[in-house]
């Protein structure tokens, strides 16, 4: 009884301190749900499956004060079969003015399936690399959380994008395919140099800034990114940012954390972002070096609550440590290795959530980690059914795929249980080998891939564990009875009840 009373007091004190983080966490889930909405509603375009994209050069013109974009997109692609025409995706409200190949105009049509179908002048044989440039313009459709947002902060104009697999076509002609990562991109964005108040505009994008070139009243900023990236993680944001950096030593191979923040939030951001360096060092110690260390990490402030883990530059609605830890974790889990399907979303979100818990453990200590776990357990056990693995029929149900209970909180605790089952040393070794595996690194992985890796490293059969906790539903409850048999013996009986009949007995429990 004493233990129980202590636990109740402990729980009560956590409820008070956890309020800020909970609000932040709800925003985060809601933001990631919004960003995924179009991904899930959309379908893969089979007409773009006959080529591999190798490279894009995005040459864009925007004015943060105007909801409009125009650009020239140069794409290099290898034919997977003999091609007489090639299809890119672009919303049909955007107007293509010209398609050029080696300076020659090509014939094309735009259709209501959001496609540009381009006729090639000669057959591009299978295995051959070629390129072309599409020139286009328009006002991208916004649905309130669209892939291209023009807005204001404190009265100053801003444009940001959310390049989702099936929303990227809203603002640039591309191939939206999770399984065809692009090897390299160059992003050039031309804007007015100054906003209407005379403050300078700055661009945030993926990879490393190469140059800013002023031409009259305009400025062109160039970013280059040399890691494999899917179309949905390419992003731009432009406003009158204040920019400051932290340096990560990275064992003598330093890189910067570049923060693009609103002037009105500068002191708040400066007080909160330095911990990013500690978190990068922590994740590097626990797992492996930051996956994009030849370039940078960064934060760009934008207009939603929560965040979005664009590669090398997370877009942030605020700078709480929990949000910083979560979006940073996605650079390893989500960006370097992307979940192979929506059924496997826990491989992105469960890990990002667990790493936030680990950051509490290593930066604040065991008591903080325990509070965090109690919070996650309370979410995981708040309903009796539902599996971490998303059932096939639910992959178009955004609320289910991005369920904070089943895709974030419960799998974060399942990962913790797995680390206790295998022992921390084996658990971290397994995850390290998973991250380094060339079959998954800078590509994709599914649940059986992760299970097989952890089994190979530990030598244990984990099918019961995964069946109980990833594919099965519910959680165990216990009743404990004791009888004094005589003065020296006590009989204790522990009974387990399962919250859901999909699992007959759960060998492990949340701890």
**β partners of residue 86:** 118
- Name the residue nearer to Zn ion (CB basis): 238 or 325: 325
Q: Which one, 344 or 349, has the nearer CB to Zn ion?
A: 349
CB of 352 to Zn ion, least distance (A): 4
> What is the smallest separation between the CB atom of 274 and Zn ion, expressed in angstroms?
22
Torsion of CA 224, 83, 91, 189, to 10 degrees: 20
Longest dimension (CA), the chain: 98
Q: Least distance (Å) from Zn ion to the CB of residue 175?
A: 24
Torsion of CA 508, 509, 510, 511, to 10 degrees: -90
Structure tokens at 95: 């107007």
Least distance between Zn ion and beta carbon 408 (Å):
7
Dist. CA 191–CA 185, nearest whole Å: 19
Contact 230, 337 (CB under 8 A): no
In contact, 468 and 462? CB cutoff 8 Å? no
Element (H, E) at 373: helix 366-380
How far is it, in rounded angstroms, from Cα 239 to Cα 200?
Answer: 8
Distances (CA, A) of 90 to 114, 169, 451: 5, 4, 38
Instruction: By CB under 5 A, name the binding residues for Zn ion.
Output: 32, 349, 352
The DSSP letter of residue 102 is T
- The strand order across the sheet containing 307-308 reads 242-248, 255-261, 296-301, 314-316, 307-308
In the bound state with Zn ion, the residue whose beta carbon lies nearer, of 202 and 302, is 302
CB 316 to Zn ion: min, Å: 12
Q: How far is the CB of 329 from Zn ion (least distance, A)?
A: 8
The distance of closest approach from Cβ of residue 28 to Zn ion in the complex, given in angstroms and rounded to an integer, is 6
**Taking Cα atoms as reference points, which of 185, 159, 175 lies closest to residue 237?**
159
**CA quadruple 142, 146, 147, 152: dihedral sign:** positive
* CA angle at 165 for the pair 146 and 27, rounded to the nearest 5°: 50
Considering the complex, state which of residue 186 and residue 327 has its C-beta at the smaller distance from Zn ion: 327
Residues 72, 59 contacting (CB under 8 angstroms): yes
Tokens of 41: 């509603």
What is d(CA 348, CA 365) in angstroms, rounded to the nearest whole number? 25
Residue among 279 and 352 whose Cβ is closer to Zn ion:
352
Closer to Zn ion by Cβ: residue 21 or 241? 21
- Smallest gap from Cβ 330 to Zn ion, in A, equals 6
For Zn ion, give the closer residue by CB, 203 or 316.
316
**CB-nearer residue toward Zn ion: 352 or 406:** 352
Give least dist CB 476 to Zn ion, A. 28
Question: In sequence order, what are the residues at sequence separation of 6 or more whose Cβ sits closer than 8 angstroms to the Cβ of residue 262?
Answer: 153, 154, 156, 239, 241, 242, 301
Q: Is the dihedral of CA 399, 403, 406, 411 positive or negative?
A: positive
- The smaller minimum CB distance to Zn ion, of residues 32 and 114, is found at 32
* Tokens describing residue 164: 């989702």
Q: Do residues 417 and 508 lie in contact, with contact meaning Cβ atoms separated by under 8 Å?
A: yes
Instruction: Give the residue with the Cβ less far from Zn ion, 67 or 345.
Output: 345
Residue number with CB closer to Zn ion (157 or 322) = 322
- CA angle (92 as vertex; 87, 93 as ends), nearest 5: 145
Closest CB to Zn ion: residue number: 352
């Amino acid at each position: 009884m004493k233990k129980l009373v202590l636990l109740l007091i402990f729980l009560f004190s956590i409820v008070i301190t956890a309020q800020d983080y909970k609000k932040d966490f709800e925003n985060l889930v809601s933001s990631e749900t919004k960003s995924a909405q179009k991904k899930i509603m959309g379908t893969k375009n089979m007409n773009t499956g006959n080529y591999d994209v190798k490279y894009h050069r995005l040459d864009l013109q925007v004015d943060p004060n105007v909801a409009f974009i125009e650009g020239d997109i140069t794409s290099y692609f290898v034919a997977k079969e003999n091609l007489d025409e090639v299809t890119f995706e672009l919303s049909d409200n955007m107007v293509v003015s010209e398609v050029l190949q080696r300076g020659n105009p090509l014939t094309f049509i735009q259709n209501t399936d959001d496609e540009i179908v381009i006729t090639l002048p000669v057959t591009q044989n299978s295995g051959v690399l070629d390129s072309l440039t599409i020139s286009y313009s328009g006002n991208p459709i916004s649905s309130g959380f669209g892939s291209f947002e023009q807005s204001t902060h404190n009265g100053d104009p801003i444009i940001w994008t959310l390049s989702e697999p099936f929303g990227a076509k809203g603002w640039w002609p591309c191939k939206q395919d999770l399984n065809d990562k692009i090897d390299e991109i160059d992003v050039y964005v031309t804007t007015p140099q100054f906003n209407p108040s005379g403050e300078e505009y700055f661009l945030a994008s993926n990879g490393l800034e190469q140059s800013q070139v002023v031409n009259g009243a305009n400025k062109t900023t160039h970013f280059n990114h040399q890691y494999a990236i899917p179309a949905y993680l390419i992003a731009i944001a432009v406003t009158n940012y204040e920019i400051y950096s932290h340096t990560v030593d990275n064992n003598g191979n330093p890189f910067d954390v570049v923060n693009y923040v609103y002037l009105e939030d500068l002191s708040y951001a400066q007080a909160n972002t330095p911990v990013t360096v500690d978190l990068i060092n922590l994740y590097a110690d626990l797992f492996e070096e930051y996956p994009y260390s030849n370039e940078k990490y960064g934060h760009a402030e934008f207009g939603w609550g929560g965040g979005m883990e664009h590669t090398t530059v997370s877009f942030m609605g605020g700078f709480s440590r929990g949000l910083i830890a979560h979006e940073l974790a996605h650079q390893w889990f989500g960006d370097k290795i992307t979940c192979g399907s929506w059924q496997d979303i826990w491989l992105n979100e469960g890990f990002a959530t667990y790493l936030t818990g680990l950051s509490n453990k290593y930066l604040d200590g065991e008591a903080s980690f325990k509070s965090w776990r109690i919070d996650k357990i309370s979410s995981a056990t708040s309903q009796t059914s539902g599996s971490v693995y998303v059932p096939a029929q639910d992959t178009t149900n955004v609320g289910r795929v991005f369920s904070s209970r089943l895709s974030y909180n419960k799998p974060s605790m399942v990962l913790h249980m797995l680390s206790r089952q295998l022992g921390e040393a084996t658990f971290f070794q397994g995850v390290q080998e998973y991250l380094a595996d060339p079959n998954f690194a800078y590509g994709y992985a599914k649940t059986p891939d992760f299970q097989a890796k952890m089994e190979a490293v530990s030598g244990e059969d984990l099918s019961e564990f995964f069946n109980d906790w990833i594919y099965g539903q519910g959680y165990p409850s216990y009743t404990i009875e004791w009888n004094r048999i005589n003065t020296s013996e006590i009989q204790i009986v522990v009974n387990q009840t399962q919250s859901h009949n999909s699992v007959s007995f759960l060998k492990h429990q949340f701890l």
